[in-house]
A and B are shown apart, each in its own frame.
Chain A
Amino acid sequence: MDSYMLSVLSNIGMISFLALSAYLLLLVGKVSFGQQAYFAISAYVSAMATTLWGCPLWLALFFGAISAGISATLVSIPTLRLKGFYFSVATLAFAEMIRLGLVIFKYQVEIDGELVGPEGSIGFRGIRYIYDHNFSSVEYLCLIYGCLLVVIGLMIFWEHSRIGSIIRMTGADELLTEMQGINVKLVKVLTAGFAGTIAGLGGGLYAHYLTYVGPEMFGAMLGVHAVSYGLIGGLGTTFGPLLGTLLDFVFLKSAVFSEYRMIIFGGIVAVLLIFKPRGLLDEALLYKIRQKLRKPSWK
């Protein structure tokens, strides 16, 4: 496989984490414009873990994902009781706070005579773990997709279990769900925490792939794209956000459209949302598919 396809696939894989993260929150009925905050937190934490403290990659990714998950849980406690617009804007505010914090954050350690570490808006360079440890592009791609498949597997498993039903119920009507005896607040907080962890895992992989991270990479655009992938691809299944991510990369990041990409992407999203407000693979479509697949036991 040539290195161009490898890099495109790697990008798709990493951004998929962010898309899945935003998707989970969409399922509980919340539009989060701020998942990039957890992406960023984990990117920095895991990069510091390998570059400054010499951790192995798996441990660094773990630290990153955990720190993202904890932050997400903490943030969700005050914000999840906010309705629609207020929640979305609060998540955007938090993400901007993190980004602005990174513009200020400076922590450098001397390694081999050179100062290494995040340096505010100048960025954090030298995250060369995968090159120093002779990871090939194919091996890293396998790592990305390995992690992604584990996450997808988990989500599909939950999708078909009681947990999935609870999450979707919460998204559809919180009051009714409470009446069923379910602790809606707990459901939402746990979902947000898990969503943060997923975003975090992607963030750690991202930082090591790029070898450099800077606050300018984690702006609102990233978060909004993540949400729109879920809304385009469909909220009916875990494959929805993945479809959305794929569509963006395949059709729009190709050279043909590059100058008009935003115009076309923006137009498509707006038009699609008129006809399919819950995306291509929305619940209605999934229901029809499941009906067709179910063989009637009486004939």
Chain B
Amino acid sequence: MFQDNKSNKIVSKRLKLIIILCSFVISFVIAADDSTRERKIKIAGFGATSGTLQSLGINSRAVLEAAVEQINIRGITTGDGVTADLDLSYYDSACNVDTATSVINKIIETDAIVGMGPTCSGVAEVIYGHFQKKVDSLDDSGLQFPILADTPMKIGLAKKSEWVFRNVANEWVMYDKLFDWVQTKYPNLKTYHAGIEIDQGHSKATWSKVIKVHADKHGYKQVGEEHWSMRDTSFSVQSRKFSQSNADIIIISAHPPTTCGILKELALQKITPKILIGLTSSASPETALLCTDAAEGITIPTSFYPASPLARKVVRQAALKGGNVDLHSAAAWENAEIIKRIIQDTGIIGKPETLKEDRRKMRDGLAALKSTKGLLGIIERTADGEAMKPYFIVQLIGGEWSVVHNPN
């Protein structure tokens, strides 16, 4: 009997210990799995999820959703000590200025503390022009709402307003460094011949304001400039001009469809420059798929490559949400992390009553950022709201993009 009592006591003690341990574990699991936190900080994404350029919006949205899901596992600590969830709503701006203007106004009416978009550069031009140019200027009735964009690449968009910030690759720096690299790797090149998609804002602007400037600065001589339209499918005339000039470098400032078109024609006419340079937006799976052989060896500076474990994880998670990760949508992940960091650093509360202050804190937080942690390294931020992202130089080799220069 005494024996039984003692063993009973031991058993009940053990049982209690087990129960206590279990409840600890369970409560951790419940707390961690608590995707329905009471406090929700609303953020809004917007981009083209319909229309010809819908892949950009679809990818951005997928990456944002994946990022927000990750963040909501741990939650965010708000300014008043509450652990909150990020609540993302994504709107379709259809790459159409009228739709997008309505969308941005709709977003401002909600409790969203920040907007992330759009994806089309033309739409960004219109939308950002509506924002207050300088913060606190009393005679400027522009919109007051912070924007952090991941995709629109056209030069000079963030400086349109002090409320607008971008986390896109800095083409100015990238092409400068690209030509530096070309000079060291291919030392005896002298001439270049360019082909440009002239009726698209990004390809035209990047050519005339970035690529050409740097090519000339590095001492290369231009021997020709060919033009075509976004919708063109025949490039035999332009190719013959390339063939005539026999330039060392051929630069193609165009998006994947016409890039592939001209490259196939160049391959047909057996035109092989010493080096082929492309537009940042063409360093994508689309190019690899569309003209695997013809684009062999094309060299492009980019700001995304699945080089780090984190980058590869993002690719996997975005795929689960139905999107691809490229230099555009990768920034969406980084932006979600930036938003989280600013909320915690500036004490954003996320209640409807504090909306105006929260938005101002977000803007000031974005303006004050000196550097952020990106998927592939540290990103420096500039005074006019742009980013200096780590870059790679990639080449299409055997149908796959490979890094040929990694300065990080």
Contacts and interface: CB of A to CB of B under 8 A. Distances in A.
A26 B141 CA distance: 40
Contact of B97 (A126, A127, A210, A255): A210
B108 A123 contact: no
B106 interface: yes
Interface string A232-275: 00000000000000000000010100110100000000000000
A130 B109 CA distance: 21
Given A11-B98, A253-B102, A2 B201 contact: no
7 contacts: A3-B105, A4-B105, A4-B108, A6-B105, A11-B102, A103-B199, A209-B101
Contacts of B106: 4
B97 A217 contact: yes
A135 interface: yes
B49 interface: yes
Interface stretch (B73-81, B121-129, B239-247, B253-261): B121-129
Contact of B130 (A11, A132, A211): A211
A189 to B, nearest CB: 31
Nearest to B91: A255
Nearest to B92: A258
Given A131-B142, A134-B141, A4 B201 contact: no
A8 B204 CA distance: 32
Contacts of B104: 7
B198 interface: yes
A57 to B, nearest CB: 14
Most buried by B among A4, A103, A122, A128: A122
A105 interface: no
Nearest to B49: A259
Interface in B191-221: 198-201, 204-205, 208
Given A131-B140, A135-B141, A215 B199 contact: yes
A216 interface: yes
B94 interface: yes
- Cβ-closest 9 pairs across A and B: A211-B129, A7-B105, A4-B106, A212-B125, A3-B105, A4-B105, A259-B50, A2-B109, A258-B92
B61 interface: no
A134 B139 contact: yes
Contacts of A261: 50
Contact of B92 (A3, A8, A259): A259
B158 to A, nearest CB: 13
Interface residues of B, number: 35
Given A4-B109, A7-B105, A123 B99 contact: no
Given A123-B201, A131-B133, A258 B99 contact: yes
Nearest to B123: A212
A120 interface: yes
B340 interface: no
Interface string B142-161: 11000000000000000010
A125 B142 CA distance: 15
B125 A123 contact: yes
Interface string A125-146: 1111011101111000000000
A214 interface: yes
Contact of B129 (A6, A212, A255): A212
Given A121-B201, A215-B199, A4 B102 contact: yes
A258 B57 CA distance: 13
A51 to B, nearest CB: 12
Contacts of B102: 4, 7-8, 11, 253
Given A215-B199, A259-B49, A126 B129 contact: yes
A174 B357 CA distance: 66
Nearest to A10: B101
A214 B141 contact: no
Interface size class of A (residues with CB under 8 A): 35 or more
Contacts of A135: 141
Contacts of B122: 123, 214, 216-217
A127 B126 CA distance: 10
Interface string B96-121: 01110110111011000000000000
B126 A134 contact: no
Contacts of B125: 123, 125, 212, 214
A128 B129 CA distance: 7
B99 A253 contact: yes
B98 A253 contact: yes
B141 A121 contact: no
Interface in A94-134: 103, 120-123, 125-128, 130-132, 134
A12 B185 CA distance: 57
Contacts of A130: 141
Nearest to A2: B109
Contacts of B208: 122
A15 B101 CA distance: 14
B147 to A, nearest CB: 15
A120 B199 CA distance: 8
B198 A103 contact: yes
A211 B109 CA distance: 21
A42 to B, nearest CB: 17
A93 to B, nearest CB: 16
Interface string B278-293: 0000000000000000
Contact of B101 (A2, A11, A125, A134): A11
Contacts of A121: 198-201, 204
B204 A122 contact: yes
B126 A211 contact: yes
B34 to A, nearest CB: 29
Contacts of A253: 98-99, 102
Contacts of A209: 101
Nearest to B139: A134
A210 B129 contact: yes
A121 B109 CA distance: 33
Given A134-B140, A216-B122, 6 more contacts: A3-B105, A4-B108, A4-B109, A132-B139, A211-B130, A212-B126
B204 to A, nearest CB: 5
B203 to A, nearest CB: 9
